[in-house]
C-alpha cells in the first residue's frame, strides 16, 4: 500500500539529530582535541578550531589525569564536578560542593543507579507521576520494586496536589508497600509544565513528613514553555 510519505522518523526516544537538528559544535570540538591532544599544539590547529575551543581543551587536558582514554574517579572527573557545583550554586543561590556531585553517563543512568540503590526487595516502592516518561516504571520493574502512581492535576496546569500524594501513599502502604521515594519530573515529561516554588515547597514538606527521598528529575530545565519559570527543588528549602 502506498502511503503519503516516504520516510518515518522515530521520535519516541528523543533523537533530535535524526530530525536534522545541528549538534552543538563547541562540545564536539573540545572533545575531539581532548581525544587527540597532540592536535592542540599543531601549527594548523588555530585555523581549524576557534581560540576559545583550544583554550578550553588545554584546560581540561591539564586537569584530567590520563586523558579521556583512562578511568576517571568513580564520582566522575573532579574538574567537571567542580564546574557542575559552580553552576548549581549560581543557579540556586545555595552553595554546592563538588564532593556531593556524582556524574553519570546520561540522566537515564542516574535514574537507574538511584532506583537500584533505593529498591531493596519486592516490597519497596517509588512514587511516580502519571503521566510519566516510562523510564521510571520500567526501571522500577527491572529492579524488582513497585511503582506507586500519583496523578498530576491537568486542570491546574499539571500541578502536584498534596492530597493526591497522600492518597496514593496511603493506598500503597495499605497494600504492604514500603514507599521509599518520590520521583518528580520538573519541567514535566511529557506534560511540559514547570512547578511553582509554592508547589515545590508543599511537596518538600510532604516528603519530609513522610520520610521520603526526593528524586528530582530536572533534566529539561532549559526547555521552558508557558508563563511559569523553572524553579529547582534545591532552591526551595522549607
What are the cell numbers at 186? Answer: 520538573
Q: What is the DSSP string of 185-225?
A: ESS-TTT-----HHHHHHHHHHHHHHT-EEEEE-TTTT---
Q: At a CB cut-off of 8 Å and minimum separation 6, what does 227 contact?
A: none
Q: 38: which 3 cell numbers?
A: 597532540
pTM value is 0.87
Q: What are phi and psi of 203, to 5 degrees?
A: -70, -40
Mean pLDDT, 10 residues at a time, over the chain (238 residues)?
83 71 91 95 95 97 89 92 97 95 93 97 98 93 98 94 98 98 95 94 97 96 90 89
Nearest partner of 74 among 45, 97, 103, judged by Cα: 103
pLDDT computed for residue 66 by the predictor: 87
Amino acid at each position: 500500500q502506498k502511503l503519503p510519505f516516504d520516510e518515518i522518523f522515530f521520535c519516541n526516544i528523543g533523537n533530535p539529530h535524526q530530525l536534522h537538528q545541528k549538534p552543538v559544535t563547541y562540545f564536539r570540538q573540545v572533545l575531539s582535541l581532548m581525544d587527540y591532544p597532540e592536535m592542540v599544539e599543531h601549527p594548523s590547529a588555530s585555523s581549524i578550531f576557534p581560540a576559545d575551543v583550544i583554550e578550553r581543551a588545554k584546560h581540561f587536558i591539564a586537569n584530567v589525569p590520563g586523558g579521556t582514554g583512562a578511568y576517571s574517579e568513580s564520582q566522575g572527573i573532579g574538574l567537571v564536578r567542580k564546574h557542575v557545583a559552580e553552576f548549581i550554586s549560581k543557579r540556586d543561590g545555595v552553595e554546592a560542593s563538588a564532593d556531593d556531585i556524582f556524574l553519570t553517563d546520561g540522566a537515564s543512568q542516574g535514574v537507574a543507579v538511584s532506583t537500584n540503590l533505593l529498591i531493596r526487595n519486592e516490597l519497596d516502592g517509588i512514587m511516580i507521576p502519571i503521566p510519566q516518561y516510562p523510564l521510571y516504571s520500567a526501571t522500577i520493574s527491572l529492579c524488582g520494586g513497585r511503582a506507586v502512581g500519583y496523578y498530576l492535576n491537568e486542570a491546574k496546569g499539571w500541578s502536584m496536589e498534596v492530597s493526591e500524594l497522600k492518597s496514593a501513599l496511603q493506598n500503597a502502604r495499605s497494600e504492604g508497600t514500603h514507599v521509599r521515594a518520590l520521583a518528580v519530573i520538573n519541567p514535566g515529561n511529557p506534560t511540559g509544565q514547570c512547578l511553582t516554588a509554592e508547589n515545590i515547597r508543599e511537596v518538600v514538606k510532604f516528603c519530609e513528613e513522610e520520610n521520603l527521598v526526593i528524586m528530582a528529575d530536572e533534566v529539561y530545565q532549559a526547555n521552558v514553555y508557558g508563563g511559569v519559570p523553572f524553579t529547582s527543588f534545591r532552591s526551595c528549602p522549607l
